[in-house]
């Protein structure tokens, strides 16, 4: 008798604890829309592929958008909100330079509102678009996107400035920035592989090429052959009109060559170079460089983890009608 009371009590405790732990993980799920909007993921993919097919440079923009969304207030689409008369939003903060792809998100949202009004969140659309953008050139998805995110209503320039790591960051700063989002060093190295596609403006790294210590010198950790090449592209330290591919000669192909160029001292930002300055991080660089399959697999795992940062689920947040503005 006494025994079974104790057992009952324990079972209740276990159920309550499991419930709390479950809530902590935000309750994203694979195929959240399978009943409420079964065609949601197909529609999102076909719109993304249509636009990325028309302009392959957009794949990098969509991938970066998800990162910028998740690192500021969690993956809740705050990065999409426009500034208003009395608020400067994240997208108008300095680190927004060259952020793009908003018109594609709006096109996906419009298609989904037509098919299933008020069901699919902008935050899920950003997560799906990042996955589908990377998948376009490969022809297959590298990860399942968990869905069920809801949208926030607040977007602040100040938080983008505080929460997005600077490209001038050293390893300790990057590690701390990712740790504050519950992402480890392995995630940091693997997700930085996102720089395997896309471009950077000369002004972001121009000091490394033209005037590193104020003596008209270049960063000694930057490959001299690469410096000479970059000088043929960038018209000076503060050239904001020119972009270069972050992986020399590529920029459109998502693969693990990013890790090879890191080892050749061709990482474009100080934050890329930083990954080889820590023993464990450098080990992860070597592992990612050695095998494309391992990189693809780990990239998917870390993207799912990043995609769960600070999400709003259940009855938190809202479903925006238009991604760039709050519902009136
Ligand atoms: C580790 C910290 C990171 C830093 C400091 C950083 C910084 C930057 C900077 C400064 C740019 C160029 C912006 C410009 O030229 O205006 C850039 C571009 C980009 N970043 Fe990152 N980033 C980081 C992590 C990530 C992650 C985790 C992803 C995605 C998984 C990502 C994806 C991209 C992509 C795809 C581009 C190219 C965008 C384009 O072509 O327009 N970055 N990043
Ligand atoms: C922002 O300004 C509008 C009028 O332009 C006003 O109605 C609104 O209450 C203001 N919001 C905040 C948060 O101050
Ligand atoms: C970035 O912010 C500036 C203002 O700081 C704004 O003029 C520009 O349109 C923003 N860019 C994007 C892509 O939102
Ligand atoms: C490099 O920077 C220093 C100090 O900021 C400046 O005085 C100098 O003119 C710059 N040199 C070049 C070549 O831009
Ligand atoms: C990655 O893509 C680039 C650009 O298309 C290509 O030059 C390189 O060989 C590819 N790397 C691997 C390992 O497939
Ligand atoms: C510089 O880059 C070239 C390829 O562009 C590579 O062959 C060489 O090994 C690199 N040098 C150093 C010191 O990393
Ligand atoms: C958001 O801002 C962009 C750029 O200023 C503008 O083109 C777009 O129409 C705005 N979206 C909405 C829904 O107001």
Candidate of 80, 92, 204 to mutate for ligand 3, largest count of ligand atoms within 8 Å of Cβ: 92
Collapsing DSSP to helix, strand or coil, 146 comes out as strand
Tell me the average pLDDT across 156-172. 96
Distance CA 273, CA 86 (A): 39
Burial class (CB in 10 A: 0-12, 13-18, 19+), 19: exposed
Q: What is the pLDDT of residues 239-279, one digit of tens each?
A: 999 999 999 987 799 999 999 999 999 999 999 999 999 99
The residue contributing the CA closest to ligand 7 atom 9 is 324
Average pLDDT over the chain, rounded to an integer: 93
* DSSP one-letter code for 244: E
Reply yes or no on whether the pLDDT at 127 is more than 60.
yes
Given this model, what pLDDT does residue 19 score? 44
Rounded (to 5) percent helix, strand, coil in the chain: 55, 5, 40
pLDDT band at 23 (very low <50, low <70, confident <90, very high): very low
Q: Closest Cα partner for 155 from 123, 202, 179, 192?
A: 123
User: Is-above-0.85 flag for pTM?
Assistant: yes
Reply yes or no on whether the pLDDT at 24 is more than 90.
no
Reply yes or no on whether the pLDDT at 193 is more than 80.
yes
Reply yes or no on whether the pLDDT at 100 is more than 90.
yes
Tokens 């740790």, residue?
179
Q: Closest Cα partner for 28 from 318, 309, 323?
A: 309
Given this model, what pLDDT does residue 8 score? 57
Distance CA 271, CA 235 (A): 23
The residue contributing the CA closest to ligand 3 atom 2 is 92
pLDDT band at 17 (very low <50, low <70, confident <90, very high): very low
Whether 166 is in the pocket of ligand 7, judged by its Cβ within 6 Å, is: no
Given this model, what pLDDT does residue 251 score? 78
Q: Specify whether 195 is catalytic.
A: no
Collapsing DSSP to helix, strand or coil, 52 comes out as helix
Given this model, what pLDDT does residue 250 score? 78
């Amino acid at each position: 008798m006494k025994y079974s009371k104790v057992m009952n009590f324990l079972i209740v405790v276990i159920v309550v604890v499991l419930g709390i732990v479950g809530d902590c993980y935000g309750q994203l799920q694979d195929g959240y829309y399978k009943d409420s909007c079964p065609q949601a993921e197909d529609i999102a993919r076909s719109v993304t592929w249509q636009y990325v097919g028309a302009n392959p440079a957009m794949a990098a923009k969509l991938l970066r958008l998800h990162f910028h969304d998740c690192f500021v207030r969690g993956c809740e689409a705050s990065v999409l909100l426009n500034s208003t008369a009395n608020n400067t939003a994240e997208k108008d903060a300095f680190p927004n330079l060259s952020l793009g792809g908003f018109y594609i998100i709006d096109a996906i949202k419009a298609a989904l509102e037509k098919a299933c009004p008020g069901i699919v969140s902008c935050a899920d659309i950003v997560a799906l678009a990042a996955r589908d953008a990377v998948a376009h050139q490969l022809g297959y998805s590298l990860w399942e996107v968990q869905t069920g995110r809801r949208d926030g209503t607040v977007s602040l320039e100040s938080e983008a400035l505080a929460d997005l790591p600077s490209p001038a960051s050293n390893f300790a700063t990057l590690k701390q920035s990712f740790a504050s989002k519950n992402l480890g060093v392995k995630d940091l190295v693997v997700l930085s592989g996102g720089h395997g596609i896309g471009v950077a403006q000369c002004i972001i790294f121009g000091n490394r090429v033209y005037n590193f210590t104020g003596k008209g010198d270049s960063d000694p950790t930057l490959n001299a052959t690469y410096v000479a090449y970059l000088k043929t592209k960038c018209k000076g330290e503060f050239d904001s009109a020119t972009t270069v591919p972050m992986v020399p000669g590529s920029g459109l192909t998502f693969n693990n060559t990013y890790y090879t160029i890191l080892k050749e001292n061709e990482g474009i930002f100080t934050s890329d170079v930083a990954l080889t300055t820590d023993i464990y991080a450098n080990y992860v660089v070597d592992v990612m460089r050695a095998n494309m399959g391992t990189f693809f697999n780990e990239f998917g795992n870390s993207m799912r983890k990043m995609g769960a940062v600070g999400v709003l689920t259940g009855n938190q947040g809202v479903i925006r009608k238009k991604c760039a503005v709050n519902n009136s």
